[in-house]
Amino acid sequence: MERMNHRASRRKLVTALSAFAAALGTSGPVRARPELAQPEAAGGVRAALEAGANAAVEALGRTDGFLGNPRVRIALPRGLEQVSTAFALMGRKRDLDELVTAMNRAAEAAVPQARTLLVQAVRSMSVEDAVGLVRGADTAVTEFFAAKTRAPLAERFLPVVAATTGRMGLARQYNALASQAAAVGLLGQDDASVERYVTARALDGMYLMIGEEERRIRRDPVGTGSAILRRVFGGG
């Protein structure tokens, strides 16, 4: 059932994002149908982006949204590889596995916090913003979301992540070990805190998923389905 829900969410995201991407197959400025004013066309783009943002949140903000997806699964930072090896030699690999699971569960719990801010970012865009996204680079939409939402989302994610990872004693051990690794230059300061590390990786994963869909749709906009395109841009 979860796999079916994931496929449904993916189809929803593909269809929704096709509105802004599908127009890339034409040259010159975006043209709406004669009976559809540019503000109305921009409204259609906003609606598509909003649906796409919701679908991305649904895909990641669920059990195994991160842990079960190798593209976004959160692993221990590279600077702690020696610690991982030492734990394994001491017969404590299961403890590390539990920590990695907890980190991914924390990301899955935090991502639903993104829904409101992503939707607000879409609704606040101007007509010029909407047209610019249609004609932008391969990841114009992803960059738009990141610029508008990354900093405030980090603030929202952090307490959710802290509440989830804080239930495990190993999270405190992570912070202690990572602080030592950071002190000798093996880790960046942000990675020295499990809460900040997971928050950053959760945001990276969310924008990665949005970006992957955006690139794919821009490569083959019509092939992804053009129902929204026909309504908004008069594409057929």
pLDDT for the residue numbered 21: 43
> What is the pTM (predicted TM-score) of this model?
0.75
By C-alpha distance, which of 203, 183, 205, 204 is closest to 192?
A: 183
Please report the sign of the dihedral spanned by the C-alpha atoms of residue 135, residue 140, residue 142, residue 145: negative
Measure the CA angle with vertex 157, ends 115 and 107; round to 5°.
85
The model's pLDDT over 39-93, given as tens digits with 9 standing for 90+, comes to 666 776 777 777 778 888 999 999 999 999 999 999 988 767 666 676 677 777 7
How far apart (Å, rounded) are the C-alpha atoms in residues 158 and 231? 40
pLDDT for the residue numbered 29: 44
3-class DSSP state for residue 89? helix
Q: pLDDT-derived band of residue 112, with 50, 70 and 90 as boundaries? A: very high
pLDDT for the residue numbered 203: 96
Please report the sign of the dihedral spanned by the C-alpha atoms of residue 115, residue 119, residue 199, residue 68: positive
By C-alpha distance, which of 206, 43, 183, 174 is closest to 102?
A: 174
